[in-house]
Structure 1
Amino acid sequence: MSLIAAAPNLVRTTPPSDPAPLGTVSAGAWWPTIDLAALRDAMRLDGAITPERLLPAVQEAVATTVGLLAAWAKSRQDEGRATLAAVPALQVDGESINVQRYRRAVYCHAKANLIERYSDYDTTGRARKDDQEDSRDAQAEQYRRDATWAVRDILGVTRLNVELI
C-alpha cells in the first residue's frame, strides 16, 4: 500500500534578521516612518501578502491616518514641534506614546484593508462559507475601531460620544 499526499506550497516569509528589508513608507519628516517588515511581524502577515500587495495598503493607511491628524499636526507644527516624537507626551519604553499610537493606527488601517481585499490571506485551501465572510468583516471593523481609538487618543478626545435625544 502506498500513499501520495499533496500539500499546498509553503510560503516563505522574510525573517526580521533578513538583510533585505521590505522597505518603508514615509509621509514626510514630521511623521514617523513605517517599516514594512515591522508591520508584517506585528500584524502577523505571512508571505501570502506579497510586498506588491502590502505597499499600497500601507501607503493608503498612512494617508488615511495623516489625513485624520492633519489639523492637529498643523497646530503642533505651529507651536514649533519638529516631529511627532517632539510633541510632549508620555514615554513608554523610551518612545513617545503618540508615535506608538500613530504606528498602531497605521498598522490597523492597513490590516483592515488587507483583510477586506484579500479574503484568502489566511485560508487553508477550503472554500469560504458565509459565516467566515461575516467573521472577516467583523475582524476588519475591529481593526478600524482600534485605528480610530489610536487617532482619538493622540487628539486627546474621548473614544465615545454619547448624546441623549
Structure 2
Amino acid sequence: MSFIAPATSAAPSTITNGPFWPDVHLATLRDAMRLDGTVTNARLEHAVINAALQTNRDLKDWRIGQQILGFDGLEQVPAEQINGQSIYLQLYLRAVYCLTKANLIERYSDFDSTAKGLKAGEVLGESVDDLRRDARFAIRDILGESHVTVELI
C-alpha cells in the first residue's frame, strides 16, 4: 500500500459577493475548513456560491434593515471586534464556510462511488448535520435570535 498525497489546489481565487456582503477568498476557506486539492476550484466555487446564496437569502431582511439605517456593507455595521474583525463578518463567513463544506461532503459519493468512497461518505455524513447546525447558529447570532426554538403544542 502506498500513500499518494492529494494534489495541491490551483491558484486561489475569490468569489465576489453582493455589495453589502464580503467576498469569499477560496484559499482562506480551504485553510479554515481543511479542504485539500482533491476538491477542485470549480467544485469549491460552485459550493461557495450555493452557500453564499443561502446565507444571503436567510439574512435578507436583516441586511435591508441595516441598509435602511445607512450601512452600505457588513463591515460598516457597528459590532464588537474579535481579532480585529467585526463579529458579524466572522459569523457571516462561518455560515458560508460551514454550508460550503456540508455541501461538498453531501456530494462526496459523486467524487468516489467505490465501496471505499461510499463508506467515507457515510463517515463524513455524520458531520454534515453539525456543519449545518453551526451555520444556522451563526446566522441566528447575526439576527440576534436564540439558538433554540421551542413551540408549545
Assess same fold via TM > 0.5. yes
Match of 2:104 among 93, 114, 120: 114
2:39 matched residue in structure 1 = 49
State the shift of 1:163 in Å.
Answer: 2.1
Checking the alignment, whether the CA contact within 8 Å between 1:49 and 1:121 is kept in structure 2 is no
2:135 matched residue in structure 1 = 147
Structure 1 unmatched runs, 5+: 15-19
- Larger Rg over CA atoms: 1
CA-based RMSD = 2.3
State the shift of 1:13 in Å.
Answer: 2.1
SS at match of 1:99: helix
Aligned residues: 152
State the shift of 1:120 in Å.
Answer: 7.7
- Counterpart Cα distance in 2 of 1:33 and 1:152: 21
Structure 2 unmatched runs, 5+: none
- 1:104-150 residue CA offsets vs partner (Å, 9 max, x unmatched): 0000000000000123879xx94544xx5543322111100000000
- TM-score in terms of structure 2 length: 0.89
- In the superposition, relative to structure 1, how do residues 93 and 11 fare at CA in structure 2: closer, same or farther (>3 Å)? same
Matched, 1:157 2:145: yes
State the shift of 1:88 in Å.
Answer: 1.2
Q: Where do 4+ consecutive residues of structure 1 move more than 4 Å?
A: none
- TM-score in terms of structure 1 length: 0.83
State percent identity of aligned pairs. 46
- Counterpart Cα distance in 2 of 1:92 and 1:106: 18
SS at match of 2:45: helix
- Counterpart Cα distance in 2 of 1:52 and 1:71: 30
- Counterpart Cα distance in 2 of 1:92 and 1:133: 35
1:62 matched residue in structure 2 = 52
State the shift of 1:10 in Å.
Answer: 2.6
